[in-house]
Amino acid sequence: MTEQPRSSKSRAYRMRQRAENVEETRQRIVEATGLLHESVGPARTTIAAIADRAGVTRLTVYRHFPDEESLFAACSAHWTSRQRPPDPARWGRIADPEQRLRVGLNDLYRFYGEGEPMLRRIYRDWDVLPAALQDGLSARDAAFRDVLLKPFGASRRQRQLKAAVGHAVSFWTWRSLCVENGMTNRSAASLMTTFALAAGRGQAH
């Protein structure tokens, strides 16, 4: 077998090193963006601040992420990969409507609690988020709501029940109950389960 020329080996090594350096730089930019989003929020995060924290130039940031949407998408994916997200597929295996609602809200509130610093600033700065991220978050919340609603089936008070469960899955509902008013995730999930069931029976005013 013919040995590869030394020049070819050297060129391949340099190309591999360059690719690794590019990926390392990209990762530093993503991590810097995430830290700023979590500490000051997207609205106060500037490209200059990202570049400074990542130890690169503003031009380098733009070279890796030419638009805001690509930077937010990479940052969101990186943050999510380090979390323990809710598991609506597990909720969906619970046939009893009340139990599914209680289990699902407990799981969701646990996630909100673990990710509160980032989630609070993301939802607070909603208006500056790229449209694709807004749409994705809205669709995710609607999907959580719909999984929890499904076992209730058709109801004369479906509209009230849908509104109540939609309110229950909101990050701000969790934060009001657990952060501002000191409830535990379990007690907050129990309260909102009772509220939603009452709305479905027409007993909530």
CA distance 95 to 8: 62
The per-residue pLDDT for 14 is: 53
Q: What is the pTM of this model?
A: 0.86
Query: Residue 48 — pLDDT band, cuts 50, 70, 90?
Result: very high
Q: Mean pLDDT of all residues in the chain?
A: 91
Say how far apart CA 203 and CA 205 lie, in whole Å. Answer: 6
Kindly tell me if the per-residue pLDDT of 5 is higher than 70: no
The token pair that represents 22 in the structure block = 């590019």
Q: What is the CATH number of domain 6-81?
A: 1.10.357.10
How crowded is residue 180: how many other Cβ atoms within 10 Å of its Cβ?
A: 9
Average pLDDT over residues 19-30: 86
Report the pLDDT value the prediction gives residue 155, as an integer from 0 to 100. Answer: 65
Indicate the DSSP class of residue 4: P
Per-residue pLDDT reduced to its tens digit, 8-18 = 656 554 555 56
Band of the pLDDT at 202, cuts 50, 70, 90?
low
Q: What values do phi and psi take at 203, rounded to 5?
A: -105, -5
* pLDDT of 71 over the 70 cut: yes
Domain segments of the chain: what residues? 6-81, 88-201
Output the pLDDT for position 201: 82
Predicted local distance difference test score (pLDDT) of residue 204: 43
Q: Is the pLDDT of residue 203 over 70?
A: no
